[in-house]
Amino acid sequence: DTGVSQNPRHKITKRGQNVTFRCDPISEHNRLYWYRQTLGQGPEFLTYFQNEAQLEKSRLLSDRFSAERPKGSFSTLEIQRTEQGDSAMYLCATLAGWGDTDTQYFGPGTRLTVL
Amino acid sequence: ILNVEQSPQSLHVQEGDSTNFTCSFPSSNFYALHWYRWETAKSPEALFVMTLNGDEKKKGRISATLNTKEGYSYLYIKGSQPEDSATYLCAPGAGSYQLTFGKGTKLSVIP
């Protein structure tokens, strides 16, 4: 257990529905990242927050995706009008440091299946 | 965008065998190389963060080496055990505060 929790662990939805995932970071970790892993690929960066500010978004993050981190604590990732291509494992990671040499601690992920 | 290659994609070894995997990455703009172990239904677990050319890290039966000049890292597992079965991911950081992962090496240790 890394101390990062994600809910739900599994989500099955029909195409066109909206879904929201939640990530609870390790307490006092100022940086929070979202990654997505599709079948046969490594995790791919989606977006990251420093405290409550969303500082970077990948081109993978279409307009249907939105992420928030109110008050710099937990974060939510919402996907609107889901498509079958959104089926993936969504991972959250947090860290306390400021550089590339600091360890990111991952949650167990939310597996999304879009029917 | 970094191009990170891991090989092999998967391998099966007998319990007690030693094994190793490779991670290749562009050597320019290198900051750090992260190794993770990801067991099914669990969180990816950080194994090592390596920064210096020639760096060697060890954790129990697992060790890793780093060559930043030629852009590769090796992960070694000595005397594989069934509990080592997992996907091993490498991810270089290149100053952008995000990790770029390879596709991973899936290890299965047969009792």
pLDDT at B47 over 60: yes
pLDDT, tens only, A40-76: 999 999 999 999 999 989 988 899 999 999 988 999 9
In the structure encoding, which two tokens stand for residue A31, read together?
């940086």
Q: What is the share, in percent, of chain B residues with pLDDT greater than 70?
A: 95
What does the pLDDT read at residue B94?
Answer: 65
Dist. CA A49–CA A33, nearest whole Å: 6
- Which of B46, B96, B97 comes nearest A105 by C-beta? B46
Phi then psi dihedrals of residue A94, to 5 deg: -135, 155
How many CB atoms lie under 10 A from the CB of residue B49? 19
User: For B99, which of A55, A104, A105 is closest by C-beta distance?
Assistant: A104
**Contact yes or no for B43 and A45 at CB 8 A:** no
Q: Does the pLDDT of residue A23 top 60, yes or no?
A: yes
Does the structure show a pLDDT above 90 at A102?
Answer: no
Per-residue pLDDT at B78 exceeds 90: yes
A84 in reach of chain B (CB within 8 A): no
